[in-house]
Structure 1
Amino acid sequence: MILDFNEIKKEDVLIVGGKGANLGEMTSAKINVPSGFVITADAYRDFLKVNDIDSLIENGIKKSADDEKTLLNEAEHFRGKIKSGKFPEQLENAIREKYFNLGNNTRVAVRSSATAEDLPDASFAGQQETYLNVQGIESVLNGVRNCYASLWGNRAVSYRLHQGYDQSSVSIAVVIQEMVESEKAGVLFTVNPVSKKENEMQINASYGLGESVVSGRVTADSYIVGKNGEIIEVAIGSKETQIIYGEKNTVEVTVDDNDRKKRALNDREISELIKSGLKIEKHYKMPMDIEWALKDDEVYILQARAITTLKSSTNHISEDSLVQKYTKGKKINKSTREVMSFFLEKMPFAHRALDFDYLAAINDQKVNILLEGGIVLPRNPIIDDDGIQTFSNAGKRINKNIFKFFKILKNMKDFNGCYHKCNDFMKIYESKIEKIKHLNFENMTLEECKNFMEDSYILLQKLAYDRFKYALFPSVLNDKKFTKIIKKVNANYSSFDFYWDLDNKTSVVTNDVYKMAREIRKNE
């Protein structure tokens, strides 16, 4: 019921989950992965059985009869029982032995690795818990129980219900992995995720543990590099904070101003990361998304997964009757197909009305700016009664504003002017968002909540408009020249980058507006 990483292959997903399978595969391939072991999905099922929780779950699922409110109430009961459950004696002894084999009171990460018996390709990324800097066997055992309980978290249960997954078919393994007290960490994409260039990589890096980059808490440095070792482009992020070890778990602390302003990675470190990325990509024979850490000049690989959003030009959307219902018989071009594929992977569920409205609030501004120049494009895809995006029937055309197009284009090429515009509007938005941060959402009346939602919606529209018109569109016109300006703006106002939190069914703006939108979600 427990397997060391070196006993695991990538085919063992149903036994150890996706995380566990990849860590085992890389360990066998002699990739520098921190030591660890996996408590298998069979161990989870045995834990449920010994504590009579398996029958409790079975009866609770039957009782709910697919009613979401009832199911979530039952899931809360499941979580309570799991957290207070006892491990089978043999399993607990095995966990103790494996943990002590890592060292005396070793700091470890306790990571959930979920899977589904009849859905080997199902992705439950981000729906279960991870605990960092866990020390001591009792804390490890408690972390395992909490991971087990997170399989029945509200978000995970709702996701499975809406996707039609059998709640009883899911299981969970738990990865126990030795922590690396990294000086720098981040993610690496072995194919440029923006340009899709296969001869380029993108590296995102910041200080401390990698959680700050993976979770989007900081604006990390971005390095576009060639697979031949060439550094093509560097964008220095603001790197406001870093996550480090605390007495227990982790803490977030401020990064020194001098470190914020300079590159997190030097040329040698970039070179080593490129080598590691190439080795992993060659082993898997596909583009990979890699989490890494640097300590004492050594690269450690913490996780790797396929970049499934990079679809080949040969992929096509099935034109069966279900798809035709929503495409309305229209021919889907390559770019639209790629966008649909991306959203389907990240949001494989029907939109909720509020989610869609805020997404539209942002996207609508691109259309508004083009309309000023006489180019009339269809508005956002509409949403039907089932919560499914469908295509607009409106066509493309031009109007009399087309005579203003070249004047608007000229203004967008005035990069210094755009830079000053960005500086001015960011100060305004910074002031408004600072006020929002001090609102008491928990004690809002219904009327106050309504007013806040309306005001925040308008604020989001204005911010999106200004960002598109004075930052993103000009950067497309001359990205090399504008990169210097973007770097300067990012260094001061990085917290306003748009952040697509698709896993949480929200499209918002980081970091303060991101928090603001989360409060909206709570009051939805």
Structure 2
Amino acid sequence: MYTTLFDEQLCQDVGAVGGKALGLAEMTTAGLPVAPGFAVCTAAYRTYLQESGLRAAIETALAGASSGSPGSVAAAERTIAEALTSAQVPADVAAEVTGGYEALCAQVGVPDLSVAVRSSATAEDSAGASFAGEFETYVDVSGAAEVLAHVRRCWDSVFTGRALAYALDKGISPLDIEMAVVVQKTVRARAAGVMFTLSPVTGDRSRIVLEASWGLGLSVVGGEVTPDRYTVDKVRLTVCERVPGDKRIEYRRGDAPVSVPEDRWSQLCLSDEQVLALARLGKSLERLQRCPQDIEFAVDEDLPAGADVVLLQCRPETIWSAKARKPAFDPSAGLLSMVAASVSGADTHHTAPTKSGHSRG
């Protein structure tokens, strides 16, 4: 089987669909709001590499590549790029991918539906190593032939110089990475952004922090705007900080940005109701995944208010989650000192972050 829907059992297997598709499957199964779509499984990628002869060619090219030698990585990239230009997608794989897209069009009731085509590697979005930003994502792709071409571009992005260097630096063979691909209805985003279920600056787990801008989230992820920032008290579910950004461009489609009218540059793009709806979803995801989450979201202008918040992706937060957490009390100090520390710390206030410390590549 080369494709699977988000609500099918196969989509619960990270080895079959990668981290991104697994996250979407888990959100779908939990009843969280996710745009419809399907995953192109790693089996399709393996078949593509094997039957096209790419695997053997790539093994040869990688034999002399080393993370300590940028020149050797660049040489491997050039050799692999030449092999990729002549490779063909096997006919049975192509038929299943295009068939999955046509079925999605029928499900939504829109011919040539606009979709996002997004990489979902087995090594991506893990708590140990984040390949976020190393592999390709495309939005506003329409038509079966174009969807297949962009699925292939996601496969081929495993072997760009940037991705090769990152994998080798982490001690991972690029051929050990298996690439699945998510094909998902494009969200017509009025606003979009990212949410952390802890403070990305201090690691404070009593806070949820959101950054958002107008249009698709490409401007936020790419650092092209200063997004609005919102901080939520996770326990009380109240908005405790709103910092307007400087949002002079927006992506209405995935191809190019457009200018934002001046009166909207510093206008907050999310209402308190939307921020709190997102915070509740973030808490649900954190409980579901049992660790702090890094979440991408959008507000879909095609959906009615109250049902317009859509989750696009979730991954484990990798910066603060990897650090050892200091115990609140010293267990060797005795019960009395614990009580005293608790009383003396009762009036301590959390400091709201001033700038996100995360880079999303």
Report if TM-score (shorter chain) is over 0.5.
yes
In structure 2, what is the equivalent of residue 265 of structure 1? 270
How far is 1:108 from its partner? Answer: 0.9
In structure 1, what is the equivalent of residue 287 of structure 2? 282
How far is 1:224 from its partner? Answer: 1.0
Unaligned runs of 5+ in 2: 106-110, 328-350
How far is 1:2 from its partner? Answer: 1.3
Quick one: distance in 2 between partners of 1:255 and 1:35?
29
Equivalent of residue 155 in structure 1, options 162, 166, 169: 162
Quick one: distance in 1 between partners of 2:311 and 2:275?
14
Residues 22 and 303, structure 1, Cα contact 8 Å, conserved in 2: yes
CA distance change for structure 1 residues 177 and 43 in 2, over 3 Å: closer, same or farther? same
CA distance change for structure 1 residues 136 and 84 in 2, over 3 Å: closer, same or farther? farther
CA distance change for structure 1 residues 120 and 302 in 2, over 3 Å: closer, same or farther? closer
Quick one: distance in 2 between partners of 1:290 and 1:305?
7
- Whose Rg is larger? 1
SS in 1 for 2:265: helix
Deviates more, 1:94-103 or 1:282-291: 282-291
List aligned pairs for 1:99-498, cutoff 5 A: 99-103=101-105, 104-116=111-123, 121-227=128-234, 228-245=236-253, 249-295=254-300, 296=303, 297=305, 298-310=308-320, 311-314=323-326
SS in 2 for 1:233: strand
* Letter paired with 1:59: T
Quick one: distance in 2 between partners of 1:181 and 1:236?
22
Q: With CA pairs under 8 Å and 6+ residues apart, which has the higher RCO, 1 or 2? A: 2
In structure 2, what is the equivalent of residue 12 of structure 1? 13
How far is 1:195 from its partner? Answer: 3.9
Unaligned runs of 5+ in 1: 316-478, 487-496, 504-524
Mapped pair 1:91 → 2:93: yes
RMSD of aligned Cα (Å): 2.8
Q: Deviations over 1:33-91 (max 9, x none)?
A: 11111112221111112211111112222355876524432322323433442221111
Quick one: distance in 2 between partners of 1:222 and 1:21?
28
Quick one: distance in 2 between partners of 1:110 and 1:502?
18
Deviates more, 1:3-12 or 1:300-309: 3-12
TM-score (norm: length of structure 2): 0.81
Q: Deviations over 1:165-210 (max 9, x none)?
A: 2233222111111110110111111222234333321111111001
Residues 184 and 206, structure 1, Cα contact 8 Å, conserved in 2: yes
Residues 13 and 120, structure 1, Cα contact 8 Å, conserved in 2: no
Quick one: distance in 1 between partners of 2:152 and 2:201?
39
TM-score (norm: length of structure 1): 0.57
Percent identity, aligned pairs only?
Answer: 33
* Letter paired with 2:29: S
Quick one: distance in 1 between partners of 2:223 and 2:143?
29
Quick one: distance in 1 between partners of 2:281 and 2:65?
48
How far is 1:11 from its partner? Answer: 6.0
How far is 1:163 from its partner? Answer: 3.0
CA distance change for structure 1 residues 10 and 87 in 2, over 3 Å: closer, same or farther? closer
How far is 1:299 from its partner? Answer: 0.7
Residues 73 and 161, structure 2, Cα contact 8 Å, conserved in 1: no
CA distance change for structure 1 residues 290 and 106 in 2, over 3 Å: closer, same or farther? same
In structure 2, what is the equivalent of residue 379 of structure 1? none
CA distance change for structure 1 residues 32 and 84 in 2, over 3 Å: closer, same or farther? farther
Q: Deviations over 1:100-128 (max 9, x none)?
A: 111121111111122359x9954322111
Residues 6 and 24, structure 2, Cα contact 8 Å, conserved in 1: yes
Number of positions where the alignment pairs a residue of Structure 1 with one of Structure 2: 322
How far is 1:164 from its partner? Answer: 2.7
List aligned pairs for 1:31-42, cutoff 5 A: 31-42=32-43
Quick one: distance in 1 between partners of 2:265 and 2:277?
22
Q: Deviations over 1:125-165 (max 9, x none)?
A: 21111111111111111111211111110011122223332
CA distance change for structure 1 residues 10 and 314 in 2, over 3 Å: closer, same or farther? farther
How far is 1:243 from its partner? Answer: 0.9
Q: Deviations over 1:313-345 (max 9, x none)?
A: 259xxxxxxxxxxxxxxxxxxxxxxxxxxxxxx
* Letter paired with 1:101: A
Quick one: distance in 2 between partners of 1:286 and 1:186?
20
